[in-house]
Amino acid sequence: MGSVMDGQDDTSTGSNAENQLERIQADRLERLDDVLNIYGAQYADWPEAVRLEFPRDDLAQPAFAQRIEEERAFAQLLNMDTAPSPTASLRASILASAPSATNAKATQQPLKRAAVVPKSRVRVWVETLWSDGANLIPAGALAASIMGGVILGSTGVTGNLATTTTDPTEELMTLAFADTQYSGDW
């Protein structure tokens, strides 16, 4: 019975070791994919540290060799698609349409000076507080809408427009306690 237990322990330990080796292999394959994406499939183009990480003997393993061959085939496919060189007539038409130095100076007009407009006090104040005052307008609108919502919500104006009270004391108490209806329990 002890040997059965020992055998079970050995198989579970063995499967754990196999799982760990598979994870290490998967991590190395993922790292190799990163290296291939960055440096390509040419081993000589890899930095020295990467070549030390992946010696040529390790790259001879089937999984590594397959990934490298896939990257080589992809690089070869990309190299097949080259841009055609421009024809002589295209070059001549581009050069003919380019402005010459003398024509460029003649066609330029002097820049007009804009009229100087005095700045208002508000604009000077805004530029002092906020160097690019364009952001101040949306921020001010947001702050105003929040404050308006707080005021309307605290007074209960939106839900109680139809009911009115005649006693000003009740109105003040309702406003102070933000109660939309009068309660005699105070």
CB 53 within 8 A of CB 22: no
Who's near 161: CB < 8 A, 6+ residues apart?
Answer: none
**Per-residue model confidence (pLDDT) at position 151:** 85
Which of 20, 50, 79 lies at the terminal end of a domain, its last residue?
79
**Per-residue model confidence (pLDDT) at position 2:** 46
**Per-residue model confidence (pLDDT) at position 105:** 58
Domain extent, residue 68, equals 12-79
Q: What is the DSSP string of 149-173?
A: HHHHHHHTTTT-SS---S-HHHHHH
**Per-residue model confidence (pLDDT) at position 185:** 52
Burial of 170: CB neighbours in 10 Å, binned 0-12, 13-18, 19+: exposed
Q: Using only C-alpha atoms, what is the Rg of the chain? A: 40
Domain count within the chain: 2
**Per-residue model confidence (pLDDT) at position 135:** 64
- Both tokens of 131, joined, read 């160097």
Q: What is the mean pLDDT of each run of 10 residues along the chain (186 residues)?
A: 48 74 89 89 88 87 90 85 81 84 58 69 73 67 88 67 62 67 54
